[in-house]
Structure 1
């Protein structure tokens, strides 16, 4: 009962009612490009609990929509255009959650105006845009603005804990499944508009690619195979409704990803239920299998261990997270061609909602609360970077974002789909 109450309290605080922090010191004033549905959870709610962040302005192509959005979220300034918002001298930072195909153009404009940019993933449409954006001369100047691709899950203590549990060179196989039930997004959603750089790989899939790269701490040397389920007739056939891919890494390991924003079926009587929205596997899950290791000899028998790790809900660990560590130990007889004499399986379960003991490594105090979302941890890191503070050390640097888009491009090429279109604003 206590665990259920704690869960509900954390859920309510995280998603609906974070405490409001009094503003102090030099407060960073954010402007939001567009009245995007992701903005309240990804930034506006987070800003309420941050003492040095204020959501000061918003702009949208439809001014009335921007005004309604501002009224609902108590944003004091509404600009008529994106250009006006970026030119506002009172704005320090820009949050860019625009459709993928508009990321490059408006992020470049914001950076050239001296604004720090929190940029929704995927950062841009393709690797050409990524190289141009993240290697832009403006980012190499003294006191350059901060640019961050918002892979929010990477800032949460649960992800950081997961990565400490293995050595990337020992990873043999990774599987990642990100599924969302059919019907959550309509088929005419901008997520499947090719001209705006849509496709499931460019949405749910970016997380899977990012997590896979993070587990191996390297880039795939090849896309072994890739496939997709096309959009139905009458919709954009250049976009993938679901995507599947297998990658090879230089340590001999492989990774398999499955991403689906219109998952159906999985029930009994498939002749009847195959088109029903699927509620199976709704928590994004990541499996990591490590190579077996010889641990020594006991009583003339060789001791071998093999580990499997499972990260449940790795993208939303504030709501719920659990890491399973499954260790299989075998004693083998070397005199009988390695015959297994005994076998034992041990299971451990870990959770992390905040930094252990309020610190990482016991050396410095890190800020965080059990109810903080991945977005709230990300905002903390972004503000720390802008203000030149050390912070938690979690970050997504520019070269990481370039390599991310290179992998996505190679996956689309393997699928036989065109790369997402390059912005006309690219010089």
Structure 2
């Protein structure tokens, strides 16, 4: 009972956090668009942050913006994105627009002197990423702050997980992200090519990011990549599901399987193959390390291999668990297995495991709240937790996505016309 009470209390506080008294000099954030991600991405996290005020919003439909502002207690509604960006009272912009609009409106916000928290994926392709993240606006001692919002990376779970092994020892990684069919309609912006849609540009971006983080390097080769196309009548340039195998410089292999319209997996497949699939709905990744061998003085051997399974690495504030499985084999002088031992440990990390300067948090903080803390610290010139998504990281992320699309035979997502007109 105590476990359930603590779980529900922590989860409730995540979604209904205490409202902090705002400090003088708090950052005033404007939201571009009335996106569904905005409440959890910025509005709720900002409530508990004493240095953040969500002050304004603008949307293509002014009536939608007004309704959004009323629902979430946002005081200012601008008629256009340009009006919001030009507002001198706004310090920062949160950009959750469709992927294909990220480049244009982020550049405009930066040129207006605003710091930007940019939803992932940062832009449509690597060409846009290089143009954006290497822009002259970021040169100099008082450069603006731009962050690609890979929120899961800021949570103590992910950062603690990466300390459990050495990247050079990783042999295999498998990432499975799936969402049951019907959550997003097939005409959703996620599946429109002109808006840089596709599963790899949504759930797939997390899979790509996570394997890059685990190997701490870029892939040496894409061994294979395939996709399940959208059904007839929908955008054939978009992937409904994506599957890829990457080879890394240390000889390790990563497999990703990502599906935004998962079906089947039940008894009587002839009847149930099109039913939305609930099984495997928690994003899960598995990491297998290379076995290590110790020889004893009598010539026998002991082989040890570890495997880590991270359940719900993308949304650990709701629920997560790390399974640490260890297999130990004892071999006799002839090399035969004389004994096998299997051990398993479980780990959960909702806050920083050790007190460290700059690392602030609460067990109920969401990934987005930890991310917002890091963003504010960077804007304010403070060290913070030390977790960040560096510009080159965002560029390499898009390079890997582009290369994966090419391998599948699908086109790279289209480049914004603003690339040539906005400097």
- The equivalent of 1:422 in structure 2 is 415
Query: C-alpha separation between the residues in 2 aligned to 1:58 and 1:284?
Result: 31
Q: CA 1:74–1:424 in structure 2 vs 1: closer, same or farther (change >3 Å)? A: same
Query: C-alpha separation between the residues in 2 aligned to 1:58 and 1:318?
Result: 27
Query: C-alpha separation between the residues in 2 aligned to 1:295 and 1:422?
Result: 53
Query: C-alpha separation between the residues in 2 aligned to 1:70 and 1:46?
Result: 16
Alignment counterpart, residue 383 of structure 1, candidates 338, 359, 376: 376
- The equivalent of 1:124 in structure 2 is 123
* SS in structure 2 of the partner of residue 210 of structure 1: helix
List per-residue Cα deviations over 1:341-397 (Å, max 9, x = no partner).
11101111111000114x24xxx2621111100000000000000011111111001
2:345 is equivalent to residue 348 of structure 1:
yes
* SS in structure 1 of the partner of residue 127 of structure 2: helix
Q: CA 1:171–1:139 in structure 2 vs 1: closer, same or farther (change >3 Å)? A: same
Query: C-alpha separation between the residues in 1 aligned to 2:3 and 2:141?
Result: 50
User: For 1:221-300, what aligned pairs fall within 5 Å after superposition?
Assistant: 221-297=220-296, 299-300=298-299
Query: C-alpha separation between the residues in 2 aligned to 1:63 and 1:295?
Result: 68
Shift of 1:6: 1.1
Shift of 1:300: 3.6
- The equivalent of 1:22 in structure 2 is 21
2:9 is equivalent to residue 9 of structure 1:
yes
* SS in structure 1 of the partner of residue 419 of structure 2: coil
| TM-score normalised per structure 2 | 0.98
- The equivalent of 2:308 in structure 1 is 309
* SS in structure 1 of the partner of residue 412 of structure 2: coil
Flag structure 1 segments of 5+ consecutive residues without an equivalent. Answer: none
User: For 1:304-343, what aligned pairs fall within 5 Å after superposition?
Assistant: 304-333=303-332, 335-336=333-334, 338-343=335-340
Alignment counterpart, residue 410 of structure 1, candidates 397, 403, 411: 403
Shift of 1:149: 0.1
Query: C-alpha separation between the residues in 2 aligned to 1:226 and 1:366?
Result: 39
Contact kept in structure 1, 2:358 and 2:384, CA below 8 Å: no
* SS in structure 2 of the partner of residue 261 of structure 1: strand
- The equivalent of 1:186 in structure 2 is 185
List per-residue Cα deviations over 1:78-114 (Å, max 9, x = no partner).
1111111111111000000000000000000111111
User: For 1:366-381, what aligned pairs fall within 5 Å after superposition?
Assistant: 366-381=359-374
List per-residue Cα deviations over 1:244-263 (Å, max 9, x = no partner).
00000011100000011100
* SS in structure 1 of the partner of residue 389 of structure 2: coil
Query: C-alpha separation between the residues in 2 aligned to 1:271 and 1:6?
Result: 43
Query: C-alpha separation between the residues in 2 aligned to 1:366 and 1:189?
Result: 38
Query: C-alpha separation between the residues in 2 aligned to 1:170 and 1:316?
Result: 26
| TM-score normalised per structure 1 | 0.97
User: For 1:80-119, what aligned pairs fall within 5 Å after superposition?
Assistant: 80-119=79-118
- Cα RMSD for the two superposed structures: 0.9
Shift of 1:7: 1.1
Query: C-alpha separation between the residues in 1 aligned to 2:31 and 2:297?
Result: 63
List per-residue Cα deviations over 1:306-325 (Å, max 9, x = no partner).
01001111001111111111
Contact kept in structure 1, 2:358 and 2:385, CA below 8 Å: no
Contact kept in structure 1, 2:92 and 2:116, CA below 8 Å: yes
Query: C-alpha separation between the residues in 1 aligned to 2:405 and 2:244?
Result: 10
* SS in structure 1 of the partner of residue 9 of structure 2: helix
* SS in structure 1 of the partner of residue 183 of structure 2: coil
Query: C-alpha separation between the residues in 2 aligned to 1:249 and 1:395?
Result: 23
Runs of 4+ in 1 over 3 A off after TM superposition: none
List per-residue Cα deviations over 1:114-144 (Å, max 9, x = no partner).
1000000000000000000000011113311
| Count of matched residue pairs | 420
* SS in structure 2 of the partner of residue 393 of structure 1: coil
Shift of 1:203: 0.3
List per-residue Cα deviations over 1:262-312 (Å, max 9, x = no partner).
000001110111000000001100100000001342654211100100111
Contact kept in structure 1, 2:358 and 2:383, CA below 8 Å: no
Shift of 1:13: 1.4
Alignment counterpart, residue 400 of structure 1, candidates 393, 402, 413: 393
